Structure 1
């Protein structure tokens, strides 16, 4: 899979996939938790995702330039520093009981994640033979799937605590109710303190770790390059678009799962949280493992097309069925969308040469879809009073991914650009 000299660096890079996967998959727990604590609408609660994914839009290009000037290792250490700082800010956020403070802390965490993902995704692709790059990136992303399994299960135990019932809260005076909800909101302090400490330890390890700096092939020396030059690659432009819609779909499916499950299947939040981990998360992990294996026999773009069609059908099922059929339709989406991010990414940066780092930044920048599309789904859910109708958003997103896999991934020869 990788040459021997790249094995340990590849292992450390893979650990980053787990860590950002873990913090991202705490968001489905944070959304119902903060929705209750601050008495938010579904649209307002979706701003948790907006705060996280708007950072990808703001920081993606600066992250790319940072990597180009200082290299992967420095970028990774800076990203981990932002990650730790944002985690520690959850403590004053809980103390002040300001929803905006929570959103600011999440934004800072996401700034760090943007730098980490901008570095780690291409680094995992480049640490070894080019012909196994997609397989290698999917393997690293498997640990992201492991985090998706563990984070919701742990999150519901340490964050989504069983507080007073709605009936009990309704009998309390406004000040007493505010105090009770504030106590519930403070449950985030311990978990994020521990998370921040772990990230600091990882940052120290990277400071002393010798990472080989991978040099992309520079074939057009002397020509001024920039964003528009990179976007002249048709398959990169398509990848940016496809990743925007894919990430929007993934965030909608994962972040609203607990709210969706309680409505569509009629289960409580604690049970829904377990389905989020052992159902959604485990399906995502197993899907990534099986998908990575299948890529040894099926071309990545063909597998992407097949999986996108299935996700469109499952999204329709999530809209119009109920009970456990609806619940397992959404869990099925997690299985089949599991290969999409790394596959779109690796196909998008294929044969970019000197534009690889900038192309990577642009694809990471497109993750802003996770900030824009969940509020759209939240708005539809609020207006229709039915979160299931909101699944029209993921359905459309997976249709775009299908188009990328069907035609958009094709590389135009450089002399034609």
Structure 2
């Protein structure tokens, strides 16, 4: 039992690491938009480079773990994470947007292995009845990372300087080039530090024994094709739309705050950090509420609230619209882990394979921001928030379908 407790602590630290990496994207989007002189649509490919890896590598990651175990998947994920972080240095030196996207893809490839391993691993390390609460608790530390990432990123990466057309016209080509080079160089040291920290965690994990969870070779769930598991299929769809909504809400938050309320980028980064503090608090509060309210019911209530909050952000003006988006972050908090846990329940021996499909659904974060960027370029960033509003409607439907499922335990077979 003590070994399992130590394993839980170690796995929870991974939730923090990948949460920090992914939540630097809202800082990188406005930063590289300046440094590489991009449109909103082009800057959205920062998210695409990150989240497309989940689609391409989730199933290979599941197969890798089936052969080498959870620990093997975690160590490989950390090594890829570190390599991608170190590649930010040459990407900034050359100021190549494609290079940056490549480095982000490698980081996200590592995160795919980490998430494919850690999300199901935390659900099976303990009592099956507490699986949803356990994964929500672990994801709370992902929320802590989400709070710190924009705060530290805003402090050490964003310069607070803008380069509008009028200012650029008054500068010499050399001055413009020096300005852009300085902006790009700001990411070098932060990502070197991230890479070193991740590498140290990888070395530590390689030297630490972790209990391998052995699922049964075959059970009743294992005899049925995963594609005939309706709840898993619905969970994959819901996760696809949820991650799309989450990335859209957070990644364009700084642009939204500037457009709607005239908030400067450094101040907007602080607002975002505060919003993600609410996201973290929401996970702890949600974990507590699940002692009294069933996870599907809480998911349904939160998704409806978010539909109305996003609509408020679209129709309101000034800081009121920004505060509405901050509220969205709080009510998004339980969605990923709850959809994940509901999606894999009852899969028995096929939990690793089912988890791979749910992680693959994270590709929604690559697709919806590009759609939102196109809508923003065609109209404005405020109107573009209709995209996450539609996503929350899909999540509400998934929650309703789970309210009708009776007698299935929230955990997975050991």
TM-score, normalised to structure 2's length?
0.95
**Aligned residues of 2:261 and 2:319 also touching (Cα < 8 A):** yes
Q: SS where residue 197 of structure 1 aligns?
A: helix
Distance 2:148 2:198 in 1: 17
- 1:395 aligned partner: 389
Distance 1:409 1:183 in 2: 53
Q: SS where residue 46 of structure 2 aligns?
A: helix
- 1:173 aligned partner: 172
* Cα-Cα RMSD: 1.7
**Correspondence 1:71 to 2:77:** no
> Residue 235 and residue 71 in structure 1: after superposition, are their counterparts in 2 closer, same or farther (change >3 A)?
same
- 1:84 aligned partner: 82
Q: SS where residue 210 of structure 1 aligns?
A: coil
Deviation per CA, 1:390-409: give whole Å up to 9, x if none: 11110000000000000157
**Aligned residues of 2:160 and 2:264 also touching (Cα < 8 A):** no
- 1:197 aligned partner: 196
Correspondence 1:9-408 to 2 at 5 A? 9-163=7-161, 165-166=163-164, 167-220=166-219, 229-278=225-274, 280-384=275-379, 386-408=380-402
Deviation per CA, 1:300-340: give whole Å up to 9, x if none: 00000000000000010111111111011000000001000
> Residue 410 and residue 54 in structure 1: after superposition, are their counterparts in 2 closer, same or farther (change >3 A)?
farther
Deviation per CA, 1:339-370: give whole Å up to 9, x if none: 00000000000010111000000000000000
Unpaired runs of 5+ residues, structure 2, are 409-414
> Residue 316 and residue 80 in structure 1: after superposition, are their counterparts in 2 closer, same or farther (change >3 A)?
same
Q: Structure 1 residue 413: deviation in Å? A: 9.1
Distance 1:379 1:335 in 2: 26
Distance 1:171 1:307 in 2: 50
Distance 2:329 2:406 in 1: 32
**Aligned residues of 1:234 and 1:412 also touching (Cα < 8 A):** no
**Aligned residues of 2:303 and 2:393 also touching (Cα < 8 A):** yes
TM-score, normalised to structure 1's length?
0.95
> Residue 164 and residue 286 in structure 1: after superposition, are their counterparts in 2 closer, same or farther (change >3 A)?
closer
Q: SS where residue 278 of structure 2 aligns?
A: helix
Unpaired runs of 5+ residues, structure 1, are none
- The number of residue pairs the alignment matches comes to 407
Q: SS where residue 187 of structure 2 aligns?
A: helix
Distance 2:405 2:90 in 1: 49
